[in-house]
Structure 1
Amino acid sequence: MWRRIYMLLLAVRLYFSLAPSYIHPDEHFQGPEVIAGHIFNWPTVRTWEFTVEAPIRSFFPLWLVYGFPMKFLDWVYPGAEPPEPIVIFYFLRTMFFLASFVLEDWALQELLATPRQRRISLSLLASSYVTWTYQTHTFSNSVETIAVLWSLVLMERISKSKSWVFLSPAALGFTVVFGVFNRITFPAFLILPAYRVIPHFLRRPVSVLPLIVAAGLTAALAISVDTFHYAPTSTSPIITPLNNLLYNSKTENLAHHGIHPYYTHLVANLPQLLGPALLLLRAPLSSPVLSAIGGVLTLSALPHQEARFLLPVIPLLLTSVTLPQGLLRKRVWIASWMIFNAAYGTLQGIYHQAGIVPAQTFLATTNVTDVLYWKTYNAPTWLLGPLSARTNTTNLMGAPVSTLLSELASKSNCTGEAYLAAPLSATKLDPLLDAPELPFRLEMAWNTRVHLNMDDLDFGEDGVVPTLQRVVGRRGLGVWRIRRRECEEV
């Protein structure tokens, strides 16, 4: 029975992986946006992490995770032209789905001792909205989850070995260095469970040599890749994890990204990710639980805390869930777990900022020269493909109407093709659509109802019910052609 449920949940995971929701800008701008520009020569945006004097993001994991798949797709794609950006988008999402299904589930199965534990934990993982959404999006945190789990698996294999081993220590050395260059927080998840491998290395010191050699070679390769990208003519190596550590050690730097109370992960982010499962956690000091404890404690000591930073913690803690005793209690808990994940999955995996990717795909079929995005996340320019070379994208975010009016007036002209993308819930846009006193008018060119803008909630000014009626009732994203009146009169 549980296998049929697991296969059904696998189909659900695939469905969410192919839904165009947009959870956080980092899923584009810290991965596909950067690498697509290198491979296809499309002008793309590099965020501050890649442009500061001491860059803090490594190209090494980006090439392994995004670059080689893009190269492969470009190689197998029929025709002389590179694949359309939306094809690349779905190809990467499919790869992250496969990584979640194959590598994450496989690792969790290896870390659990009994068939009953495996059934329960794999069923919980497969039915978690975190697996459906965050883990199938192109986040570095999703990659970190896989690296953490397989580091634990390799540690278990080494600790259980009764002879000298080569492959597992070498693989561990590569995985640890890869994890550090992917996210500087990665070692936090290995500090406590590392005790499992120490006795083996003390008994057979020669086993540590493959680990050291693999780690050293991987680090040298990663530093070489970063130095080539950032300072090809410099004689000084670029060590991005060190730059990252130095940057994040200064509170004034983190203040630019938001300072949170130290208890945010514990009282807000974990409940948001685990929901009812948080009530059923037990505390056996297994490797997964120790890894989760080390990760949560370390990340909680940092003043900037976002829920996605805890992605590796979710499969680790799900290994320690014990279902309630008694049929009624068990059914009540399962119902609450299903409702929780269905609600969050629908929000995060289907509707959240979900119109932006299709809007960019639509714009890629036009002759757009200017596009304004208002009250949305930043639009990934890589989704415009070669059209991004002559398209000026302006992300106004939550700018006031006066700023929007100024930009609309400046972008409307008789030579270019300008568009505005904005949520349908932005009612302050309504009077501007065809106001005779304005030098332009807005003509609807494309829209979708599958878009929810949670940043547009304003309970204080509008009240709870009117705000929900506007944001949910008028959900969607529209793209308007900006037409200058004097141009139409000619």
Structure 2
Amino acid sequence: MWRRLYLCLVLVRLYFALSPSYIHPDEHFQGPEIIAGEVFGYPSYKTWEFTSSQPIRSIFPFWLIYGWPLTVLKWIWEGLGYGPVPPSIAFYTLRLLMFLLSFILGDWAIHELIPAINQRRTAIILVASSYVTWTFQTHTFSNSIETLVVLWSLVLIIRLRDNIQDTQASASGVLAFLGVLGVFNRITFPAFLVIPLAQIVPGLYYKPLRIPVMLFVGLFTLAVAITMDTEYYSGRRPHLRGFHNDAVITPWNNLVYNADESNLAKHGLHPFWQHFVANLPQLIGPAIPLLFFSSTKNTLFWSGVGGIAIISAFRHQEPRFLLPAVPLLLSSIKVPRRGARWWAGLWVLFNVLAGTLFGVYHQGGAVPSQTWISQQHNIESVVWWKTYSPPRWLLDGKNHEVTTTDLMGMPGQHMIAQLEESAACESAANGTLLVAPSSATFLDAFTGDATQHSEIVFTRQWQYSRHIGLDDLDFGDDGVWPTLQRVIGRRGLTIWRVSRQC
């Protein structure tokens, strides 16, 4: 019975992986936006993390995780005579890749970490039924990669801890490799391993040959990572003679940046308890009480709790920073027999609602809109309003032809004023597009039947219905219920052609 349930949950995960929802800009701009430009030559938009004098994002994990699958895709696609790879194909290839990594490596790691059969089955079902697994883990987040690296690091740590009779050179070397990969992927990675790593110290004493193996593999991987980053950011291949002066060490730059609270203030400061009190409940919902009253205080539990406690020292805190802790904590809880059906019902309801929101509707029209725009001709500029930043790499190389302007949450009147300046005449060959949520009632005065006097004309071109933008919430002015009615009842993303009467 549990195998059938697990198979159904895997299919649910695949469905959400292939749904074009958009949870956070970093899933594009800290991965695909960069690597797609390198592999396919697409003009891509680089955020400040890649363009500052002290860049904080490493290219090493991008090539390792995303680069080779896209390169293979390019060889196959072009080898079959189909021409350049369309960005939409590359997008869904990466989503399928993340699904396979989550399904194979993630679930396999849990199988390895929990030896007791009944507890293992419970853990696998809980993790497989979590909306975090369906959505975040199947998107191209560095946090999703961090989750997998943490899980397999724990697998190797426990192997080394439980067997101090053998050197286990392979496990020692792979652990060192994963350690370097994890740090270059995200500097928060070591926080989840601080407590477990203490358990392998006795093994290093009894089998000291593990130390040179770890040092050799770790230093070699470190050298490769730093060389790749230095070549990427400097534009030239580094030489050994001047390596110590020219080397770009992105994890160190990242740590220095995040240690300065004035930098974190640009992204939002949160109290130290934000992760435990607000962010973790958003991710695991009804499982929170079981962590306190019905859980096994094992290595997985303390790895998750310890990691959350350590990264809470950084004042900027987002729920996705806790992704590595989710499978660890869910694998530690025990569902009590008393009230199990009620709890299971709450768990299913919580994850179905959250999965539907984040896996289907959340900014769900952004990717399809870019795909549609890439297929149009005579488009000079595209203005995005009240949406997440659009992934430029999905424009299929038209970045040089199409100017993308991200107005974010700019007040409506200012947005209209900017459109009046940029829109061409109705008879002009090239046009301007406005991409905006259908729930933006401000536009009704310009697009409805009784439009107010304006120099610009809006013509609906395309609409995608499965789109909800939480950035369009305005509880303060509109009230809670009217806001929800507007955002959910008028869900969708609309593309308007904007022109001036002249």
- Both proteins in one fold, TM over 0.5: yes
SS of the aligned residue for 2:453 comes to coil
Q: In the alignment, does 2:446 pair up with 1:432?
A: yes
Q: Which residue of 1 aligns with 2:64?
A: 64
Q: After TM superposition, list the pairs within 5 Å mapping 1:157-176 onto structure 2.
A: 157-161=159-163, 162-176=165-179
Distance 2:214 2:82 in 1: 43
Read off the aligned partner of 1:466 and give its amino acid letter.
Answer: P
Q: Which residue of 2 aligns with 1:451?
A: 467
Q: In the alignment, does 2:386 pair up with 1:375?
A: yes
Q: CA deviation at 1:431?
A: 1.2
Q: State the aligned residue count.
A: 484
Greater alpha carbon shift after TM alignment, 290-299 vs 411-420: 411-420
Structure 2: which 5+ residue stretches go unaligned? none
SS of the aligned residue for 1:28 comes to helix
SS of the aligned residue for 1:197 comes to helix
Q: In the alignment, does 2:289 pair up with 1:286?
A: no
Cα offsets for 1:12-38 (capped at 9, x unmatched): 000011111100000000000011111
Greater alpha carbon shift after TM alignment, 472-481 vs 157-166: 157-166
Q: In the alignment, does 2:324 pair up with 1:312?
A: yes
Read off the aligned partner of 2:254 and give its amino acid letter.
Answer: N
Q: Which residue of 2 aligns with 1:27?
A: 27
Read off the aligned partner of 2:439 and give its amino acid letter.
Answer: S
Q: CA deviation at 1:436?
A: 6.8
Q: Which residue of 2 aligns with 1:385?
A: 396
Q: Which residue of 2 aligns with 1:358?
A: 368
Q: After TM superposition, list the pairs within 5 Å mapping 1:389-408 onto structure 2.
A: 389-408=400-419
Q: Is the 1:277–1:318 contact (alpha carbons within 8 Å) kept by the matching residues of 2?
A: yes
Read off the aligned partner of 1:433 and give its amino acid letter.
Answer: T
Q: Which residue of 2 aligns with 1:47?
A: 47
Read off the aligned partner of 2:372 and give its amino acid letter.
Answer: F
Read off the aligned partner of 2:38 and give its amino acid letter.
Answer: H
Give the TM-score normalised by the residue count of structure 2: 0.94
Q: Is the 1:42–1:389 contact (alpha carbons within 8 Å) kept by the matching residues of 2?
A: no
SS of the aligned residue for 2:263 comes to helix
Distance 1:257 1:227 in 2: 27
Cα offsets for 1:408-461 (capped at 9, x unmatched): 122211242211100000000111227473222111111011000111111121
Distance 2:81 2:464 in 1: 31
Cα offsets for 1:15-71 (capped at 9, x unmatched): 011111100000000000011111222211100000111000000001111111111
Q: CA deviation at 1:270?
A: 0.7
Q: Is the 1:125–1:318 contact (alpha carbons within 8 Å) kept by the matching residues of 2?
A: yes
Structure 1: which 5+ residue stretches go unaligned? none
Q: Is the 1:373–1:420 contact (alpha carbons within 8 Å) kept by the matching residues of 2?
A: yes
Q: Which residue of 2 aligns with 1:110?
A: 112
Distance 2:453 2:305 in 1: 61
Give the TM-score normalised by the residue count of structure 1: 0.97
Distance 1:68 1:385 in 2: 20
Distance 1:266 1:399 in 2: 32
Cα offsets for 1:264-306 (capped at 9, x unmatched): 0011011111111111124544221121122111111110000
Read off the aligned partner of 1:110 and give its amino acid letter.
Answer: E
Cα offsets for 1:337-380 (capped at 9, x unmatched): 00000110111111001000000010011022210000000000
Aligned mate of 1:197, from 197, 200, 203: 200
Q: CA deviation at 1:159?
A: 1.9
Q: Is the 2:295–2:334 contact (alpha carbons within 8 Å) kept by the matching residues of 1?
A: no
Distance 1:80 1:331 in 2: 52
Q: After TM superposition, list the pairs within 5 Å mapping 1:100-249 onto structure 2.
A: 100-161=102-163, 162-233=165-236, 235=242, 236-249=246-259
Q: In the alignment, does 2:491 pair up with 1:475?
A: yes
Q: Is the 1:35–1:63 contact (alpha carbons within 8 Å) kept by the matching residues of 2?
A: yes
Q: Which residue of 2 aligns with 1:38?
A: 38
Aligned mate of 1:268, from 272, 275, 278: 278
Q: Is the 2:229–2:250 contact (alpha carbons within 8 Å) kept by the matching residues of 1?
A: yes
Q: Is the 1:16–1:132 contact (alpha carbons within 8 Å) kept by the matching residues of 2?
A: yes
Q: CA deviation at 1:80?
A: 5.3
Q: CA deviation at 1:481?
A: 1.2
Q: Is the 2:40–2:85 contact (alpha carbons within 8 Å) kept by the matching residues of 1?
A: no
Q: Which residue of 1 aligns with 2:92?
A: 90
Q: Is the 2:296–2:334 contact (alpha carbons within 8 Å) kept by the matching residues of 1?
A: no
